[in-house]
Every structure is written in C-alpha cells, then in structure tokens.
Structure 1
Amino acid sequence: MKKRLLSFFIIGVVCLSLVTLSQSESEDEDDAVVTTEEDDVVVDDIIYRSPTPSGNVYFAEHFDDINQFNKKWTLSEAKKDDTDDDIAKYDGKWEVEAPQKNGLAGDLGLVLKSKAKHAAISARLDRPFKFTVKPLIVQYEVTLQEGQECGGAYLKLLTHGKHTADLRQFHDKTPYTIMFGPDKCGNDHKLHFIFRHKNPLNGTFSEKHCKKPKERLEEPFKDKLPHLYTLHVRPDNTFTVKLDHKVINEGNLLDDFTPPVNPPPEIDDPNDKKPADWDEREKIPDPEARKPDNWDEDAPAMIPDPTATKPESWLEDEPEMIPDPNAEKPDDWDADMDGDWEAPLIPNPACESAPGCGPWKPSLINNPDHKGKWRAPLIDNPNYKGKWKPQRIANPDFFEDKEPFRMADIAAVGLELWSMSNMILFDNFIITDDPAVSDTWAAETFDLKRRKLDKDGESLFSRLVTYTNEQPWLWAVYVIVIGLPIVLVLVFCCGSSSQDKEEQRRAAEAKKTDAVSPDDIVDQAPVKATKSKSQLEVQEEEEEEEEEEEAEASGGEVDTDALKTEEAVSEISEDAPRSPKKLASSKE
C-alpha cells in the first residue's frame, strides 16, 4: 500500500514538472526574437571582423588586408656588418597567412617562415611619436607556432632621423628608441624592455636594460598559443609590462634599469695608488713564538700497528693474482708487432678461502707523535691599517636626468630577428597614447582568439554545465530525467516494507532452532502424497529397512506400533516443510 502511494506521488511530481517545464518553454518561445534568413545571426560562433582603431593612434596593423600590407611594410635589403657574406644578408622569408590551427575566420598574421636566417622588415608610423605629456603604449601579439628553441620575437621602435629615412637599409645597427618583446635561448627566458638613453652632456646613447620580472615566462615559449604583449611608459617615468592583460613587471625608469640612467656623483680616483707600506693584514704570526724542542716535524702521520699479528692461515707464498690458465694466445697475435704474449691475470682461487695472500704487512694506525709542520700562533697586527680604498672624487661625467621618459622620437616599427624556430606569427600591432584604445583593440582581436581557443578546448561536460547555467530551467529536466528513475529503481528493487522484513526475520529464526512454527502444524487427516519422494525421504526409508534387518538378525522383535506411527507421520507431513533436525528427532 505504501509503495503504491509513493508511486502515485512520484508520478504526480513528474507530471507537474513536465507541465511547468512546458509552460516555461512556451514563455521562452514567446519572448524569443524571431530571426529571418536576412538577419543570419549565429549565436554560438565567434564572429571576427578586422578591427578599426578609434582614438589617437600612431600605428595599427592587423595584416588582414594583403594589398595594404604590401604598401605599408618594407623588406630589408641590408647586410650585417662583421659577418660572413653567406649569412650576412637579411634573406629570411616573411608571409601574410592564417594561423596553422584554431584561427578565426578572416584573421591573418605576419609569419616568419624561415629559421637560422637573418630577417628584417619594418613599417613607418602614421606620424612620429614624441615623448611629451602623453604615455606610450605598445601592444602586439606573438604566436610561436612551432615553439622556440633559440631566438627572439621582439620588436624595435626605430628612432626618427636620417638612419630611418630609407627602411630598405634597416639592420641590427639601425638606431632604435625602445626594444620590447620575448626572447629565449636555452633555459634563459626573457621579456625585453630596453630603451636607449641620450647623455645630456655629450649626446651619446647607451642601452638601459629593465630588471627581470619575478614571474616565470617559460609557458609562452612552448604552449604554441597566441600571447599579448603590452608596454606602458608614462611621463612620470613609471612603466608597466603586461602579458595577456596580466601585469608581470613594473617600476621606474630611474630605479629599475641597469646600468642606471644617472651616473653616481662620486667615483674612485683612478690615479690613486695604494702606498707600498700599506699593511692590510689583520693577523700576523707571533714573532716571539718558538718551536718546542720535542716538536718532530718529520714524524709520519701513519705507522704500522705494533699489536697486529699475521693470521695463521695467511698464504704468504701464494700471489694474489695469477695468469689465467684457460687463456689462449690469439691466432692473429704478432710477436713482432704486439710483443710477447702474456695471459691475463685473474684472482688466485687459493686465496678465496684464506684471509689473505702474498707478503703480510701490519695495518696502519694514526701516529700519536705526529704534529706536522710547526707554525707560530697568530696575533693582532700592530701595523694594520685596514682595507685600502682609493679616494673618492667628483665624477666628471656626472649628470642628473630627472625625465628619462623624454626619449628620442619614434619614426617606425621593425622586426629584426634571428631564430632557430620558424613559423613565428605576429599580429595586431598598435601604438597609441590612450589605454582605452589598446584595450578595445585587444578585445576585438586577441580576446576573441582566446575565447575561441577556450571554447574549442572545453569538454562536452563543461559545455553542458555552461549552457545549463545560462538556462537554469534545465536543472529541472535533469532531475526529472535522471533523478526520478533512480529513485523509482531504488524503491521498487531495493526497498521492502517493515512487515516483509519481520516475516523474513521470523522465518530465519525458526530455521535456526527446533521451535514449533506454523509450518510445523499440519492437519491430523491423512493426506495423499502428490509429489515424488525427495532424496531425504528415500534415505530415511533405507535407514528404516536397515534397522529392521538388524533387528531380525539379532533375533529381536520389531516394534510394529512405532513403525506404524512413523509411517503415519511420514504420510501426513510428506508435503509439509521440515528441517533435518525434526526428521532426526522423529526417527529417534
């Protein structure tokens, strides 16, 4: 009865849930926007369109327009100085093409196709960037499609001037203002930020290298995924370096570069020399100390043990090694060329069971009289003057530049590389002075790529969870379709009422004992057997026959009354269940 009520209750819940779900779906359908073929809206796919920068932009390149690329970029025709002619030429191959895998439809990039070759390409800015009152923001993408063994993927912001007037002559010595980007060789993983600082005294330039970031940078060099590199340099001399929107390095142009922008105000006098009588020894041997008369410097460190004795079974006449008796001279042995042949030596078998062979020598022990070389004890040096240092003088090259942000103007952006890995893809360059512009540019390019990669990498289960979170009513469906059948199976297959359990317990208890149970009570009226005899009954009749034979053989009389009683009981209880214990009791 209880099971039926529970079944009716569950069926009612299912019906109610289905009705509610149907109403929810109808409401969703009523609220849904009907799209026509002209709208052609695809919800699940990620749509990419070539970005159009808005705002103050000095340079922007997405490489999606090959004709525009050919007009804008210039291949280098120069040669490297001080290099063999066969490798001095910048003959690395560049191509504009789609990524090897997981790319967005219509998205192209600039790919370095060759390896172990010098390659250089550059493009002029829309207008030179001047370091005045606005920050410099440089951002671009790199995808190491084949990983990176040794080489760089950095860019150079070329300095405005006569050296960048003809970009066909772009090479490694072309002046640049900033070099920024990843570089690796062996286990050295770098993210360069180098700027060239102009000495206000003599007009010379020197490179200033940013401190290394604290975070590890191995992953972008081996995961073969697109990565976004962003540099912010601000008029207050602060800088920030980001990787995939995450800050990995920041600091100040004055404090966090090597060598520092400003030289020290004082330096050691290069003409100052240490006096000849300058004594830098803190301790000296005591000049008044004398070696003791009983000090023996020649006593050995180890001496033979005087208490050692030779073991009785020591085989002094047996050598430790003997020629191998089974060795034979090779057939090609030439005595004139190879010398006299001798059998190789092997351990003497006679020494295996003995404590030792050969001449016996006592073991060595430490010599108690050994003291070694005598040295006088050390005392404080009365003439000690301390560690000598040259005098400090004013630095003749000292200057103080409080605004290193005011660097040389930038005229062009260039890639001048050498790499042992090919298929390096560059994409979505932008140079601006507005962080909002670079963020929007990244949202329309890099962020879409990573969303697609994350979507492609999602498992079926994670996609199902994501879609369910967007459509919460699906949880009710899962409960109905999955949860309720499980409950029904548990109730009807595994569950049992308390009355059934009690009956099972009583039956089990009766089988364990000889107590009278309802099954043992039978009618006194004779009942004809309708079933065949069981094996236990056949065995019982055989035992009765054996008892009769034994009684006749012994000359005794058979108790006919007892036999009749047993037969009556057997006939009456033929169909009734009984335990072996009860049968044995009746037989007795």
Structure 2
Amino acid sequence: MRVERSAFQFKFMALVLLLVLFSVLNLASSEIIFEERFDDGWQSRWVKSDWKKSEGKAGSFKHTAGSWSGDPDDKGLQTTTDARHFAISAKIPEFNNKNRTLVLQYSVKIEQDIECGGAYIKLMSGYVNQKKFGGDTPYSVMFGPDICGTQTKKLHVILSYQGQNYPLKKDLQCETDKLTHFYTFVLRPDASYSILIDGRERDSGSMYTDWDILPPRKIKDVTAKKPTDWEEKEYIEDPNQVKPEGYDSIPREIPDPKAKQPDTWDEDEDGIWRAPKIPNPAYKGPWKPKKIKNPNYKGKWKIPWIDNPEFEDDPDLYVLKSIKYVGIEVWQVKAGAVFDNILICDDPEYAKDVVQEVFTNREMEKEALEEAEKIKKAREEEEAQRAREEGEKRKRERGYDRRRRDKDHYRDRYRKRHYDDYHDEL
C-alpha cells in the first residue's frame, strides 16, 4: 500500500508540473501588442491631428483623471470644448490577426450629458498621416458607444472588408451613466466574436451571420410548397367515439321538482300552475367527441433551408489588414469623455485582468461621483434661488416704474383738463 500511495503522489505531482508548464508556455505565447495607460511620456506616442483646425472646429484633449475618479493619479485623455471634432492617434507595432485572436479593449468615462456624440476608437491599417487623421481616414475596426438624444445609445462594431465598411446588424446598447466602463471586442480565427462590457460578455456570434459581408450560407427555398398531406393539427377528434343515443333529446332545463303549487293559487283566476324551470344537471351541452393526439402530426410546416448557390466561403473572412495605428476620432456636442486603458493583444484573459485591476477602485469612483453630483445639485439650487430673487427684484422695479408712469399720466391729464377749462372761460 505504501508503494502504491507513493506512485500516486508521483503521478499527481507530475500532472501539476505539466499544468504549470502549460500555463507558463501559454502566457509566453500571448502577446500584448499595445497598451496605453496614459502615464508619463504618453505625448511621445500620440499625435494630435490638425483635422478641422483651419475651420475652428478642432477640439483639444486634456490629460486628467476627470472630475471624479477612484484614483486621481490614473489619468486618461478627456475631450474639452463643446461642439468640436476630436482626433488623435498613436502608431503601434504592426499586428496581423491571421490565425490569432484579436482583442481590442479600452475604457471611457462619459462625465458630461453628452446629448449627441461618439465615444469610440478606431484601428487603422496602411500608412496614416497622423497630422491629418480624421473622419475620412480609412479604418479596419470602429468600436464603441455612439449616443444621440434619448433614442440612440448604440454600441458600434464596424469592420472593413475589401475596402468597404460593414456595421454589426445587431442593435447593441452602450452604458449611459457617468462611471468608467470597459468595452472589449474579441475576434477569433474561426470568425466568431464576443463583445464584453466591464469584463462580462454582452453578446457573441459569427461574422458569417451578424455582418452582411458574405451572402448567407443557407437561404429559404422559395419554390418549396407544403405537401397536401401535411398534418399541422396536434390534436384531432376521436373518430372512434360515437354520440350516445338520445343525447340530443336531453333538455337544457327541467321543472323544479322541489317546487310546490302555492295554497292561494286559483286555477280559475291564475290559470294552470306550472313549476318553474331550473338547469338540467343531466344536460352537458352540444355533443363533442373527445380530442386525441394526432398520430400523423408533423408540426407547423416551415419553408426549408437550402444551400445558397451565391455563397462562396472566404476562410480569411476574419483577417483584417495589418493593424498599424489606433486612434480616437469623435464629434461631441458636449465634451468631457475620458478615454483610457487602451489595449490591443491576443489574450482575452489578460484583458479581463486589466478590468479587474482598474475596478478595484470602483466603489471609490462611485462615491466620488455621488459627492460631485451633490455639489452640482446644491450649486444649481443656489443659482436657481439667485435667479428667482433677481426675477422678483426686476418685477418689483417694473411695478414701481409702471406706478410712476401711471401717476405722471393722470397728473398730465388733470393739468391739461384744467388748462383747457381755464381757456374756455376766457
């Protein structure tokens, strides 16, 4: 028994070592292509575009943690100046996702009541003149929130294929509160994808079905017709059941057997007495045969799907042009969004670790937001009170002026009347 236990322990330890080795090798194989926390030196990696500058419509970025934060030292780039275009980009080590998973992740805190504007980021391929980077610059991926009024709260996922942009067909909603939120897009070599918000999967699917890039693999056979003998009724009347003899002769009502002719009843005056009618307990309504399970039931007929003759597979459907740049290019009616924690890698688990790391200060950020909202509300109430007082003051002044004008008017009328009377007497 001692020898067997030792052998078991040896096998167990060997298994543990293999798992550790596998984890180390897997970690070593994963690659962080680009990670930006906007620490010191971020200016050397990012180039602010002059797009819209000549028109006076170019906004600027501020390096800040924002008006409330779980960690004041954790700074990002915040849009400033309302009703402006914002464009800034960074060159990254060239990355090709062929036979690799692509993970694009970033955080954004929309501190303002944005009204209308984007909060997304882009990945670009090929050469980009970063000083002219703008809305017309071709991109391979556009991902993130786009908010306009109370109706549009869309989460964009737009992919480029052979020079044309294709939006995700699903209507996904973004977060709209004023806290930091992480948005993660994962694209795998089998063309499957996942979209996560704050590290939790919000949606998933396939590029084959959720973008109109390729014709569908299957289409409905419009020439198909339902067979004449197709049974859609799940239950049918029992053909073996026969109506009982005399069933239809059972009356609906019968005379009340408990009723008695009143002692005061006079047939000469009241006519022949008849007992009142009551529902017949033997009456069961119109006869209907019982229902049984239809032995020929096939379910509701549906138009069959067939192979689409126009479908031609592309095994590299998921492959993007080599990524060389990442950028922020948005228009905002009201500025104030803080972009941070940009990550491009091939390891979804590392991306989740980043979310958990930043969210260790989540409660502190919530408390800071609540305090900021209290201060804002108090300031608004104070301004409203000041406006009311100013309005009352102006109203009183207008009333005083009106009374004074009325007094002068009546005085002038009095003087004119007496002046005219005096001259009439003369």
TM-score range, shorter chain: 0.5 to 0.7
Shift of 1:264: 8.3
Shift of 1:402: 3.4
Give the structure with the higher percent strand.
Answer: 2
Structure 2 partner of 1:250:
204
Structure 1 partner of 2:43:
70
Q: Structure 2 residue aligned with 1:240, among 187, 190, 194? A: 194
Deviations 1:2-61 (A, max 9, x none): xxxxxxxxxxxxxxxxxxxxxxxxxxxxxxxxxxxxxxxxxxxxxxxxxxxx96211111
Partner Cα distance (1:183, 1:194) in 2: 12
Paired residue type of 1:453: E
Q: TM-score, normalised by structure 1?
A: 0.40
Deviations 1:249-294 (A, max 9, x none): 211001111x33247899xxxxxxxxxxxxxxxxxxxxxxxxxxxx
On the 8 A contact 1:154/1:180 being kept in 2, the answer is yes
- Shift of the 394–101 alpha-carbon distance from structure 1 to 2, 3 Å rule, reads closer
1:404 equivalent to 2:317? Answer yes
Shift of 1:124: 0.8
1:211 equivalent to 2:169? Answer yes
Deviations 1:451-478 (A, max 9, x none): 32356689xxxxxxxxxxxxxxxxxxxx
Shift of 1:394: 7.9
Paired residue type of 2:335: N
Shift of 1:438: 1.3
On the 8 A contact 1:153/1:181 being kept in 2, the answer is yes
Residue segments in structure 1 that go unaligned for 5+ positions in a row:
1-53, 199-204, 267-392, 459-588
Partner Cα distance (1:152, 1:173) in 2: 15
Q: Structure 2 residue aligned with 1:168, among 128, 131, 135? A: 131
Residue segments in structure 2 that go unaligned for 5+ positions in a row:
1-28, 220-307, 371-426
Partner Cα distance (2:155, 2:330) in 1: 15
Structure 2 partner of 1:139:
105
Partner Cα distance (1:115, 1:105) in 2: 24
On the 8 A contact 1:240/1:250 being kept in 2, the answer is yes
- Shift of the 440–141 alpha-carbon distance from structure 1 to 2, 3 Å rule, reads same
Paired residue type of 1:157: L
Q: Structure 2 residue aligned with 1:424, among 337, 353, 360? A: 337
Deviations 1:507-549 (A, max 9, x none): xxxxxxxxxxxxxxxxxxxxxxxxxxxxxxxxxxxxxxxxxxx
Partner Cα distance (1:171, 1:148) in 2: 20
Paired residue type of 1:178: V
Structure 1 partner of 2:391:
none
1:130 equivalent to 2:96? Answer yes
Paired residue type of 1:147: D
User: CA RMSD of the aligned region, Å?
Assistant: 2.8
Partner Cα distance (1:210, 1:415) in 2: 20
On the 8 A contact 1:55/1:437 being kept in 2, the answer is no
Identical columns (%): 33
Paired residue type of 2:145: P
Partner Cα distance (1:103, 1:77) in 2: 33
Paired residue type of 1:208: Y
3-state DSSP of counterpart to 1:438: helix
On the 8 A contact 2:192/2:205 being kept in 1, the answer is yes
Structure 1 partner of 2:31:
56
Larger Rg: 1
Structure 2 partner of 1:434:
347
1:181 equivalent to 2:139? Answer no
1:97 equivalent to 2:60? Answer no
3-state DSSP of counterpart to 1:254: helix
On the 8 A contact 2:65/2:338 being kept in 1, the answer is no
Paired residue type of 1:71: S
Deviations 1:318-367 (A, max 9, x none): xxxxxxxxxxxxxxxxxxxxxxxxxxxxxxxxxxxxxxxxxxxxxxxxxx
Q: TM-score, normalised by structure 2?
A: 0.55
Partner Cα distance (1:55, 1:105) in 2: 31
- Shift of the 262–408 alpha-carbon distance from structure 1 to 2, 3 Å rule, reads farther
3-state DSSP of counterpart to 2:365: helix
Structure 1 partner of 2:326:
413
Partner Cα distance (2:42, 2:69) in 1: 23
On the 8 A contact 1:142/1:424 being kept in 2, the answer is yes
3-state DSSP of counterpart to 2:140: strand
Structure 1 partner of 2:183:
229
Paired residue type of 1:122: S
Partner Cα distance (1:225, 1:454) in 2: 7
Matches within 5 A, 1:359-370: none
Paired residue type of 2:134: H
Partner Cα distance (1:237, 1:438) in 2: 19
Structure 1 partner of 2:114:
148
Q: Which runs of 4+ in 1 moved over 4 A?
A: 263-266, 454-458
- Shift of the 443–254 alpha-carbon distance from structure 1 to 2, 3 Å rule, reads same
Partner Cα distance (1:61, 1:245) in 2: 18
Partner Cα distance (2:146, 2:67) in 1: 22
1:449 equivalent to 2:361? Answer yes
